[in-house]
Structure 1
Amino acid sequence: MEKNEPGYQQGLKRELKTSQLTMIAMGCAIGTGLFLGSGLAIQTAGPSVLVSYGIGAFIVLLLMGCLAEMTVAHPSSGSFGVIAEKYIHPLAGFLVRYSYWIANVLAVGVEVSAISVYMKYWFPSVPGIVWILVFGAVLLYVNATGVHTFATFEYWFSLIKIGAIICFILLGAYVLFSSSGNRHLGPHNLVDNGGFFPFGWKGTWIAVFISLFSFLGTELIAVTAGEAKDPDTAVPKALKATVFRLSTFYVLTLAVMLMIVPWKLAGGVNNSPFVKVMGILNIPYASGIMNFIILTAALSAMNSQLYASTRMMFSLSKAQFAPAFLGKVSKRGVPLAAVAVSALGIVLAAVVSGIFPSSSYAFMMGISMFGAIFTWLMVFISHLFFRRMWAKKGGRKLPVRMIGFPYLTLLGAVLLAGLMITTWFTDFKILLQFGIPWLLLLGIAYFLLARRNKGVDFKEESKKSENEQFK
């Protein structure tokens, strides 16, 4: 084990390069949140969805600044869970890791639910549950064969969808500039049908919540840092590149889309707005090709989220917050038992799809987002504790530091807390209906676990591990 590598990492292999880290994070983030979820965001905010995604990108930028600094200090597969445990309290680490685990488990279900929607384009009569089980089995196999196989798969599939987005933007721009006389296309679509803010600032703010689902996965770089070859260099570079590229892709793509398709036609989740654009442009076979690319994007995101949930469960086991067998790895360095447990999202998606075939996507997205936003909120809070303790303990000079501390850290925390609270007054109240009981359940489980393991002082063990990091 390396000097700065605690027991949370034992057994995993450091094989990931900077380019792979970036592609993995972008692969996780560029999934149904952009290709399918954007339709729901447009339906909620209208053209002002561009502002929503801009605010979402700003929050993620603040998050990445905090996360980059802390991850370089503690490169671990437990990532922000380990950091919350060290700098706040073991209970905080317990809540963060299980919440992030469930967020990704459920996000896997969101992606696979969307896959069943995409497959209806070619096979409208085949039940969605069939595709959920088929693609779920394929990605379980990929995640069970080793981190190098996973990273290679993710790199190339991410490259395909990023290339597709660039082509979409260029094609859309060409159509807009070459059809200046077409009254159905152009910037006027951004203000027609109710103006730029047809649902007021309320709709714009609610759509920020949906936009954050699109950005879910950028934090995966922090999780993969435990298997990165050179975390000090790779993590900051990958985080900066990911945030910049995602922000550019999302805003440009949505702007082009809304200038081609009136926002009232682009909204909804029954079909991807990307496919609708291709249909309007009457490009031969383009809708089928785009549907295939979107399918690839969903598979890629699902693959990354399965990886993230697996590593978080592995970290929980190493911290004695989950059964020991979940922390064991195969000869290839893969925690197979953790992979199997993290596949629960696929099973849940199959059940929800069978019961609520028309609304499974929105339902799964709502409950998966609590764990993600709670985790992000705890990253900001952890950073406040981290910076103070790192300086007090005389920690090494880090190659990256969050600017504007503590004001920008506090701003990020306030924005996320505000979003969580306001969901109660929207169609996404399922977030708090699920989240509050979930945290209470975890709190009870933690104290029961602490009583059972009386010989292990979690707080004392955390302090010992923390002190080793400053040496």
Structure 2
Amino acid sequence: MHSSMETDAAVHESGDRLKAGLKNRHLSMIAIGGVIGAGLFVGSGAGIAATGPGILLSYALAGLLVVLVMRMLGEMAAADPRSGSFSAYADRALGRWAGFTIGWLYWFFWVVVLAVEATAGAVILNGWLPAVPQWAFALLVMAVLTATNLFSVASYGEFEFWFAGIKVVAIVAFIAVGALAVFGLLPGTHAVGTDNLAGHGGFLPHGAGAVFTGMLTVVFAFMGSEIVTLAAGESADPQGAVSKATNSVIWRIGVFYLGSILVVVTLLPWDAASVRSSPYVAVLQHVGIPGAAQVMNVIVLTAVLSCLNSGLYTASRMAFSLGGRGDAPAAFARVTGRGVPRAAILASVVFGFVAVFFDYTSPTTVFRFLLNSSGAVALFVWLVICCSQLRMRRILERESPERLTVRMWWYPYLTWFAIGLIAFVVAYMFTTHDGRVQMVLSLVAAGVVLVAARVVQARRTRAHGAGEAAPVDM
């Protein structure tokens, strides 16, 4: 075991340093906006259709899991803020193979997301300007946000501050207007009571099992909550930022997800066709907001740009951390005079462009494979965070108890509960066709990366000797 956490950090991080260019307001808005993705606005309809009003339980269960995982991650990140976040902690707590595998899987997830979000944004922009081809808009948004990330971390933070701010204002306004309509306080509306919650087949029209089916459709919408722990390392007060972010995750999920979905299923019948296709547009149309569809398009476009901006940032910082630990090309760990990991950003963008290309040329084959093979990465990441925290907590209590400024509740019982819940979701995914395809292909992707990890470790052993190459003995 290394003599200290600082020594271990020196082994795994390069000498190049990222700059502390993120302000507290940037981190606060990144933390708040991180849980509001385009999936909430456009993807929640499928979950409502599959579960009925009981989708609230699905969101609550998935939200509970995220709260627990974020608390665990917050404990480790507050004690030792690092650019690689959970990948760096897995590297030290579980072994080099774990940090390598989960780091590259996470990078893969986000570069595929880049393609998804760029295409989604292009579709909206093309609807407004049909004369411009979709691929041109996809190229444009990727290029603009790449330039933003290349300039400085402060420019990323500023863009994300305003993107996230628009999302927050939009969702708060939606909840406020919807609540007034629920109680019949808007012109042309009447109090609806619990008719839509209890009617139309009841609160659980498809049975209690549908709660878990709905959970599968919403659990991945929470991916992104962990971004603030990666960004905290580039702020002046990383410990304080992480503490605030993890402490506020409960109300963020409660207000933005549960609050807005409660408005939808209370105000409108869950089985209405308009709710299935676009629940938020349906609510805006119901309360008489003129041009509701276009209003939502603007909000969704903002969410898309925010996700693309953060996705590029997150992928590049994970690549930077992998490079610093010798698990990626050394160029990824080099930074410019502005403290920006240029090579890591460009490598992430190149893969994103390749994925966009496949989205247009092979949407049902190659791109579908990319989507499915990265679909369960969120669960893998959360599971690794739980397992890492189990070991890191013991190490911190023994070596540096003063660093435990954020503590996991009821350790280790809630940690084991979260592990069990994740295992249950993984098992339940095999009961549905789409879930089974995603899990099988994601496991294949994880297996390929794990083999690569072992190959890299074997080469490191031959080149430098077993003492340096062996997994960190915690």
> What is the TM-score with the length of structure 2 in the denominator?
0.89
Q: Deviations over 1:335-371 (max 9, x none)?
A: 11111221223431442244338997x9876443322
Match of 2:169 among 163, 174, 190: 163
- Give the counterpart of 2:156 among 150, 157, 167: 150
AA matched with 1:455: A
Q: Which amino acid aligns with 2:146?
A: L
- Cα separation, partners in 2 of 1:116 and 1:187, compared to 1, 3 Å: farther
Matched, 1:232 2:231: no
Q: 2:280 aligns with which of 274, 279, 287?
A: 274
Residue 213 (structure 1) aligned to one of 207, 220, 226? 220
Equivalent residue number for residue 451 of structure 1? 458
Conserved 8 A contact 1:16-1:151: yes
1:437 aligns with 2:466: no
User: What is the deviation of 1:385?
Assistant: 1.0
Q: Does 1:103 align with 2:109?
A: yes
Structure 1, residues 7-49: CA drift from partner, whole Å, max 9, x if none? 2573201122333223123333311121112122212212111
**1:84 to 1:456, Cα distance in 2 relative to 1, 3 A:** farther
Q: Answer yes or no: is 1:40 the counterpart of 2:46.
A: yes
- The answer to whether the 8 A contact 2:18-2:335 is kept is yes
Letter in 1 for 2:297: N
**Residue 133 (structure 1) aligned with residue 139 (structure 2):** yes
Deviation at 1:422? 1.6
In the TM superposition, what whole-angstrom CA distance separates every residue of 1:307-352 from its partner, at most 9, and x where no partner exists? 1111001111111111111212122111111112212234314422
Written as runs of structure 1 = structure 2, the 5 A alignment for 1:248-267 is 248-264=255-271, 265-267=273-275
Task: Give ranges in structure 2 of 5+ residues lacking alignment.
Answer: none
Q: How does 1:57-456 map to 2 (within 5 A)?
A: 57-119=63-125, 121-123=127-129, 128-178=134-184, 185-264=192-271, 265-268=273-276, 271-343=277-349, 344-356=351-363, 366-426=372-432, 427-453=434-460, 454-456=462-464
| 1:425 partner SS | coil
The answer for unaligned runs of 5 or more in structure 1 is none
Does structure 1 conserve the Cα–Cα contact (< 8 Å) formed by 2:78 and 2:403?
A: no
Residues 462 and 25 (structure 1), Cα distance of their counterparts in 2 relative to 1, 3 Å cut: farther
1:110-138 residue CA offsets vs partner (Å, 9 max, x unmatched): 32333244346535686543432222222
Change (3 A) 1:457 1:301: farther
Task: For 2:467 and 2:279, locate their aligned partners in 1 and report how far apart those are by CA, in whole Å.
Answer: 50
Alpha-carbon contact 1:9-1:76 (below 8 Å) kept: no
Q: Which range is displaced more, 72-81 or 115-124?
A: 115-124
Contact 2:101 2:449 in 1 (8 A): yes
| Cα distance change, pair 267–62 in 1 and its aligned pair in 2 (3 A) | same
Give 1:182 deviation, angstroms: 5.7
Identify if the C-alpha distance between structure 1 residues 455 and 357 changes in structure 2 by more than 3 Å, giving closer, same or farther.
closer
- Contact 1:60–1:215 (8 Å) recurs in 2: yes
TM-score using structure 1 length: 0.90
Q: Which letter maps to 1:77? A: S
Matched, 1:29 2:54: no
Partner amino acid, structure 2, of 1:221: V
Contact kept? 1:8, 1:318, Cα under 8 Å: yes
Partner-residue secondary structure (3-state), 2:374: helix
* Distance verdict in 2 for CA 1:192–1:350, change over 3 Å: farther
Change (3 A) 1:304 1:282: same
Residue identity (%): 34
Letter in 2 for 1:314: F
